[in-house]
Amino acid sequence: MSQQPYNQQQQQQPQQQFQQEEEINLREEFGKYFRYWPWFVASLFLCVLIAFLYLRYTTPVYQSTATIIIKDEKKGGSIPGLEAFEGLGLLGGMGSNSLENEMGILRSKRLITDVAKELQLNVRYFIEGNVQTTELYSNNPIEIQILKQDDEALAGGQTFKIYVKGEKALLLTNELTGKEIKANYGEPVDLNFGTIVINKSLTPNLKEFSANAEPLIVSFSTVEAAGAGYREKIQLNLTDKNSSLIELNLNDPVKEKARDILDQLILEYNRQAIEDKNLVALNTASFIEDRLDIITGELDSVESGKEDFKEENQLTDIQAESAMFIENASDFNKRSQEVNTQLELSNAMLDYIAKNSESDLLPANLGISEAGVNSVISEYNSLVLERNRILSGSTPKNPVVMDINSRIEQIKGNVLVSLQRMRSNLRIVREDLDRQSATIDSRIASVPGKEKQFRGIERQQSIKEALYLFLLQKREETSLSLAVTAPKAKIVDSAYSLATPVSPKNKIILLAALILGVLIPFMVIYLKQLFNNKINSQKDMQSALRFIPLVGEIPKFTGKEEGLIIENDRSVLSEAFRILHTNLQYLLVNSENKDNGNILFVTSTVKGEGKTFAAINLALTLANSGKKVLVMGADLRNPQLHRYQVETKQNKGISDYLVNKELELEQLIITSSLHANLDLLPSGSIPPNPSELWRRSRADELFESLKSIYDYIVVDTAPVMLVTDTFLINKFADLTLYVVRAGYTEKKLIDFAVDAKKDGKLHDVSFVLNDVKMANFGYGNKYGYAYGAEKEGFWSKIKGKAAIW
């Protein structure tokens, strides 16, 4: 019973350990960035400040919106109040256009140009402020009227500054050329692009434009250019794919101007739509007037012939004599009239088509009885209207226009074929009626020949009268349709502007500033760490520390410090070397009871890693503890002890001792001015073959002699990767301190020390990490590494972080 919980606990331990390690890693990763917190604060402050300045001085842009509904007879039914005219065919054809075409017309160049011309958008007024320039619209102190304009000279636009020089005098300055032009209110002024007149604005409650006021900036452009600029800004959207509601949007810094543009655009669209809608009626009216003139002349001719016939033959009541035959033939006469009327209409339509161009509309609903002919004519007129409306915002090479032209040609051919077929059928019917007339005529053979002639005259008169009355009726109907001007676009919402600007968006910009304020230093630090191939802290040496221990870390000192330890020194540098001294005691524990001194080699991979610096300060630390210490300049190729005591550069030293057997060590050792317990043995003259010198037996005598004199011999050796000198004499070392410089030594070079130890070239090796930044020193700058030192102030920390970068 008790075994189960124990097993569960064993299973939970690895999981808890993993979570704990993950938490520790996250803390470490967070700590890498948190130590740069001043830069995050500075970046946040700078980005937020830039965002506030941007929001303060950026001109806000507001959105203006208007909504219209496109009346479509095919989708939305008939237009209210016009049901009585639908049968005329004069209000049809408009519903065949798709909403996409209507939206294209709303954004057409011609329509936008008309709006720009009506609102004079080619003339803009600005007032210059301290930081930004503001556009004026309805509150302009002056009004400019362009009397004459050269579009070529104004192609690139012109800008003038207007100054008040008196009660009526003005001064215009061309901003491009600097040319000054004098002008007066109400008088024409010749500019390089045309002639203008400047008048005082009649709008009340405007600030007086006087000599003390800021100059007014006026920008001129062509109407086409002004319209093209707003054409790109106007956005059209369908509120729903199944509806005919169109939403018009325009973003502009001047709300009133944007509203006027949208309202004027709708007005111009309705005006042009009404004009297009009346084209069919106008063409029909013109056709009816022409036919009335012809029929009136023919009717007068028939009536005059009837009158002359009666006078010549002295006829009074011929109807009474042939009442019986006329009664029998009444149905025939009625049918004959209908056939001849339809035949006359078909001939007239064929003549009209032959005389007019391909772009003219055909008369509709003249009374042709053939339903197929009327349908084809109506379809032809609809396509012509649709093509003309698309051409208003496009070119004849538009694929849509070319497609419609092809369909127009095809339908026109169908109209001709239908009319010709109708005429042929009517002629056949008329021939059949003529045959029936001959039969009836044979039955009324008893009727005098004059009656027959008179009946033919009356028949012609009745046909002409019926056609004349029909055309009069159609003319009145056409006149009524022209009087009706219903707009195509019904305004659902007039143009209105939103109270809050659409650009710039305060919350988004401030949020972006906060994100950038954090992201910029984060990315800089991340990239800096990503591309950093140098050792910065002991964490970067973890793989090598498994083979070679780390006995000390030497902190980075500022330029104000001399870099040398003195007696009773409480600096971070001195504490670091004291810790190094303490750690050395553990490594040299077996040699504490030796009669001779300990030899400490100080080396590195390459030059510049701080061997001499570490050797001198380690020697000073040992000397401060009461030990007798010697520092040897064993780098015979590039001696550096003279940096700390100048006279060592001129004195003889190790190389001279190895070459000249007559020299004694007492003649070469110099008492150091740095400490009473510290002596120096300089490198001496630079030899041509340092490696050969170290192979001599006198090198053994050198180290043996020094061990009997001093407690510690600190040897400043040559870099092991560059020359072999250190490997040759490493057998004399009790301990080898391998100096690695933070921020200087590459990570891949640390493997050289490990390989040298594995190969037996170096023995008893320990790492010393030099020049460590305070943030990376020890376990991080958290537990008061400057114990006993003066606490660092806030601005000092900021400067320290800047030094780290």
**Cα dihedral across residues 709, 714, 715, 716: positive or negative:** negative
Distances from the Cα of 785 to the Cα of 553, 582, 773, 792, angstroms: 12, 17, 12, 11
How many C-beta neighbours within 10 Å does residue 685 have? 14
Q: Spell out the alpha helix ranges (H) of 81-192.
A: 99-106, 109-119
Give the pLDDT confidence score for residue 114 in this predicted structure.
Answer: 92
Structure tokens at 300: 């007068």
List the strands of the sheet with 765-772, edge to edge: 550-555, 765-772, 735-741, 598-604, 712-716, 629-633, 678-681, 670-671
Q: What is the distance between the terminal CA atoms of the chain, rounded to a whole angstrom?
A: 61
Distances from the Cα of 473 to the Cα of 82, 349, 477, 578, angstroms: 18, 18, 6, 123
Structure tokens at 192: 């390089």
pLDDT bracket for residue 779 (50, 70, 90): low
pLDDT digits (tens, 9 = 90+) for 204-214: 555 566 666 77
Burial of 86-118, coded b for 16+ CB within 10 Å and e otherwise, reads eebbbbbbbbebebebbbbbbbbeebbbbbbee
Q: Which residue reads 């002004």 in tokens?
A: 226
* 189, β-bridge pairs: 196
The DSSP annotation for 75-102 comes to: HH-SPTT-GGGGGGTSS-SGGGS-HHHH
For residue 775, which phi and psi values (nearest 5 degrees)?
-70, -25
Give the pLDDT confidence score for residue 802 in this predicted structure.
Answer: 47
SS3 state at 381 = helix
Domains and CATH numbers, the chain: 279-484 (no CATH), 549-804 (3.40.50.300)
Alpha-carbon dihedral angle through residues 280, 286, 290, 295, given to the nearest 10 degrees: 60
The Cα 631–Cα 681 span in angstroms is 6
Out of 392-401, 544-553, 566-575, 783-792, give the one with best mean pLDDT: 544-553
The Cα 117–Cα 58 span in angstroms is 29
* 600, β-bridge pairs: 714, 735
Least trusted range by pLDDT, from 21-25, 377-381, 762-766: 21-25
pLDDT digits (tens, 9 = 90+) for 485-496: 677 788 888 889
Least trusted range by pLDDT, from 82-86, 295-299, 611-615: 82-86
Instruction: State the Cα angle at 386 between 384 and 388, rounded to 5°.
Output: 70
The DSSP annotation for 405-462 comes to: HHHHHHHHHHHHHHHHHHHHHHHHHHHHHHHHHHHHHHHTTTS-HHHHHHHHHHHHHH
**pLDDT > 70: percent of the chain:** 82
Better-scored residue on pLDDT, 80 or 589:
589
